[in-house]
Structure formats: C-alpha cells, structure tokens
A and B are shown apart, each in its own frame.
Chain A
Amino acid sequence: MIDPVTLWTVIIGLGLGSFFLRFVFTGLVGNRAMPDWLLRHLRYTAVAILPALVAPQVLWPAATGGETDPARLAAAVAALTVGLLTKNVIAAMLSGGFTLYGLLYLLG
C-alpha cells in the first residue's frame, strides 16, 4: 500500500516538475540557443531511461519472486521485435500481450 503523503508528494512534485520541463524553453529561455553538448545528451534520454527501467523487470519479474519467467521474457522479445520491424506501437503492444497470454496459458 502506498502511503498517501508520499503519493500526493509525488503527484504534485511530478506535476510541477513536468510543467517546468515543458515550459522551460518556450517560457523562460525564449529564442536563445542551447549548448550543443546538452542537446546531444538530451536526445538520448528516452531511449536510455525506458530500457534501463524495463530490463530488470523483464529478466527478474517481481510477480514470480524475481525468477526469470519464459512467458514474460518471450512477451518482451515479441513486443520489441514487432516494434522494431513495424514501428507500430499498438501492433507491438498487442504482440507482447498475445505472446504473454498464449504462453501463460500453454505453460499453465
């Protein structure tokens, strides 16, 4: 159970922080240029943070007590592969979902 004080702190903090990130340039920087090195790093935030977040959950899912689960691993591979091949987010999500449920059912 998540403690309500923590939860509201996160909701409000994340709301203010996200607004700041969205407003920082249009609102505060105006038309001044940003240093190249900073832009170069910022370009890779999403592709670095999201896989880093997912990797441990794919290999050691909490739901199985941290033991590698063939169904979850295969579902992750399916979602990633279909996403890479089709560039279609919904197709990738569906492939991952079908693989997960298919294997959970078969391996029961």
Chain B
Amino acid sequence: MAITTVKSAYFSGVAAGAPFILVIIPFASLFGLLATEAGLSVVQTLSFSVVVIAGAAQFTALQLMVEDAPTLVVLASALAVNLRMAMYSASLTPYIGSAPLWQRACAAYLTVDQSYVVAVAKYERSPDMTLPERMGYFFGAVTPIVPLWYMFTLVGALLGAQVPDSWALDFAIPITFLAMIAPMFRTLAHVVAALVAVVVSLLCAGVPYSLGLIIAGVAGMMAGAQVELWTARRAAEDSV
C-alpha cells in the first residue's frame, strides 16, 4: 500500500511540474545558444548545465566571463545569485530533513526554483503527507524539468554557431532577468532592495573586478531587510 501512495505522490508531482516545460525549453536553449556564442564548445556548454543546473547563475557567470572578470568575482557573483538556494534548502528542511542522507543529497542537487516552489506549496497544503510521499512528490516535480534543461541546452548549443549578430542576442539575458525579477516584487521591501541595488550598481560601474555587483547586491539586501523591519514595526504600532 505504501508503494502505491508513493507512486501516486510521484505522479502528482510530475503533473505539478509539467507546466514549467514551457519556461525551461526556451531558457535552456537560450543558455546553450549564448554559451556557444561566447566561445564554449558543445561539451563545455552541456557540462555547465549538468554540473550547475541553475539558469540565472549560469547566465551571470557566462556574462562576467565574457567581460573578462577575474575568476573569483565570477564565482562570487554567480553564487550570490544562487544564495536563494540556501533559503530554499532552509525552508525545505522541516519537511524533508529526516529523509535518508542520499535522498537529501539527490534532492539538493535537484533543487531549482520550480521544484522548490511546487514542492513547498504542496507540503503546506497537505500536512499529512508521509516522508516517502514528500520525497516522491519532489522527485516527480523535477522529472519533467531537469532532463529538458540538459536536452535543450544541447539543442541550443548545436544551433548556436549559426545565429548571426544582427539577432541582438546580447540582450536576451537582461530581458530574461527582468522578466524573472518582476513577479518577485511582492512587498515594498522587495522594491526598495531592487532600487537601491540598481542605483548602487550604476554608481559603482567603475569599480574594478566587477566588485560593484557584490557591493550593490549587499546594499540592496541591507535596504530590503531594513524596510522589512520598519514596515513590521509600523504595522505593530498601528495595531496597538
């Protein structure tokens, strides 16, 4: 009986992850395309997607390498973009923290924006799920996503060499990032964090080694955290 419920949890995970196929295919192809544009071989491009599986961080690293930023700055900036994965890991811990280590390690490798969002929403809705059901659901949610991420990176890489400059693909990354950021502006604190980060990054454009990005990111995070504190305090005062 346990096996059937795990199986059905797996398949409802697959169904929940399926709509993201629409995002993953263009995003992965774009990475493959831009990476080969930047001079990476097909093998290097595919390895990048398999080893890292994190779109935004991969685009960031690629952009900075094209700009000849020092390796340490490339790594620090791309990992800063991926810091949200630590947030995801923290918020998954109460739900799957007692799973066997190898399962947690597999889940960690497969933690991407989509699998995290789908899984946590389900865990919150269905507090009665058993641990094996939760793991089944999680692995179900990534099944339609991660293999396509690899496959379409490869497709993009194979097509890449034939794309002319007049397609202005240099601007695909900024547009993709802006499109990804917009739905994240849920509170005033998010908006302030972004505005402060933008202003500081423009002011710091001349700072060497692309360190302006790190300075701007930290400034934005501090601004967001402060506004959050301030908003919470105001709400507390108003309710008294």
Known contacts A22-B109, A31-B94, A58-B174: does B190 contact A44 (CB below 8 Å)? yes
A80 to chain B, nearest CB (A): 5
B183 to chain A, nearest CB (A): 4
Q: Are A26 and B104 in contact (CB under 8 A)?
A: yes
List the one stretch of B143-151, B154-162, B196-204 in contact with chain A.
B196-204
Q: Please provide the chain A residues from 41 to 55 with a CB less than 8 Å away from any CB of chain B in the complex.
A: 41-55
When chains A and B are docked, how far (Å) is the Cα of A93 from the Cα of B99? 38
A88 to chain B, nearest CB (A): 7
Q: Are A31 and B170 in contact (CB under 8 A)?
A: no
B200 to chain A, nearest CB (A): 7
Residues in A with CB closer than 8 Å to B65 are 2, 6-7, 10
Residues in B with CB closer than 8 Å to A71 are 168
Closest to B53 in A: A18
Q: Are A44 and B225 in contact (CB under 8 A)?
A: yes
Q: Please provide the chain B residues from 166 to 225 with a CB less than 8 Å away from any CB of chain A in the complex.
A: 168, 170-185, 189-190, 193-198, 200-202, 205, 212-213, 216-225
Closest 7 CB pairs of A and B: A83-B182, A48-B220, A44-B224, A92-B179, A15-B51, A96-B175, A52-B216
Q: Which residues of B contact A (CB under 8 A)?
A: 22-23, 26, 38-40, 44, 47-48, 51-54, 56-58, 60-61, 63, 65-67, 71, 74-75, 77-90, 92-94, 96-97, 101, 104-105, 107-109, 111, 168, 170-185, 189-190, 193-198, 200-202, 205, 212-213, 216-225, 228-229
Beyond contacts A14-B57, A31-B93, A37-B225: 9 other A-B pairs, Cβ-Cβ < 8 A, are A10-B71, A26-B93, A45-B221, A47-B220, A48-B224, A51-B198, A52-B200, A57-B171, A88-B183
